[in-house]
Amino acid sequence: MSKVNELFLNNGKPVNCITLENRAGMKVSLCDLGASLLSVWVPDIKGKLLDVVLGYADINDYLESNHAFFGATIGRNANRIEDARFQLGDECIQLDANEGMTSLHSGPNGYHTRIWEIKTVTDNSVTFRLDSPDGDQGFPGHLIMEAMYELGEDNKLRLTYRGLSDKETIFNPTNHTYFNLNGQGSGDILKHILKLNCKAYTPIVDYRSIPKGDCSSVTNTPFDFTSEKMISENIKSDFKQVRLAKGYDHNFCISKEKEHTDFALLMGDNSGIKLSVATNLPGVQLYSGNFLENIPGKMKSVYQKYSGVCLETQYFPNAINTPTFDSPILRAHETKEYVTVYSFSV
């Protein structure tokens, strides 16, 4: 079942919020502003519905105040590009920097600030479409992008990104949802249990959080989540990589047995809710909400450090400038499709 509600922003522009609901009672709220994921309501171990993603009470805040990128579709390029530039063929492409000299999530005019076209709505899915012209954000190529959300009766939320460009360009989108499986506004996620099928991660050089270009083993480091452990276990470690990011804000290299194998398991310590994540992308940015501070959220919540955790599936940070990483390039007239599946259970 799906339902569409029209709202108006402070600037007078209309936006549409769509709610998908399955027969099990799981509900997902979406918006054409940023092709964003606003809420995910799932039953806990006692059958009580909890909204397990962070967000704002006022839709205007997703446009005016969303420096944390709550629920946002990020594009064209997720994560960081060093010095906000890269070489593509014989051309040096310069982007707008928005984190010092770095381009973070494609700069100040990211796709999360756009109102997307609602291409289709069905009983269990919504497809958003964005027309991004040649030179948008500094990237070459006229890109047509789609973001499709599908809610299954098995409490799986499937997110599919498709891209087609008339020129060679970067296509590296992600979703920036913050999860708190005890329910948004319930406190921090430090006692959540996390397991990652990731035997390596990409160390960062300094406070800019840009990788060195190599993959390092997680063995005997705070980054070893190959067995279940609480997020809190090493988050305040004196390990240099943890200190640089003030917690976890690192890319992990997904170990794949097959294309869509589950690579992550996150469990709420109070709710009993479990989240499994699968993808066909090579990496995941684990971000533990280290820089959240006094952010007013839904239902009069105030989000602080560690109020939510992100599992952002994507190509590795600065991959376009790092030959040793998988390339995020989309060839001209070639369609690429990336899929991430979020499976909820108790």
Q: Which residues does the annotation mark as catalytic?
A: 176, 312
Beta pairing partners, 123: none
What is the distance between the alpha carbons of residues 178 and 12, in angstroms, rounded to a whole number? 28
What is the distance between the alpha carbons of residues 307 and 135, in angstroms, rounded to a whole number? 36
CB 253 within 8 A of CB 283: yes
Q: Spell out a b/e string for 187-207, using b for 16 or more CB atoms within 10 Å of the CB, else e.
A: ebbbebbbbbbbbbbbbbeee
Sort 167 into a burial class: Cβ within 10 Å, 0-12 / 13-18 / 19+. middle
DSSP string, 47-77: S-EEE-B---SSTTHHHHS-TT-TTPEE-SB
Q: Spell out a b/e string for 298-330, using b for 16 or more CB atoms within 10 Å of the CB, else e.
A: beebebeebbbbbbbbbbbbbbbbbeebeebbb
Phi, psi of 238 (to 5 degrees): -85, 5
Going by C-alpha positions, the residue among 202, 209, 213 that lies closest to residue 284 is: 202
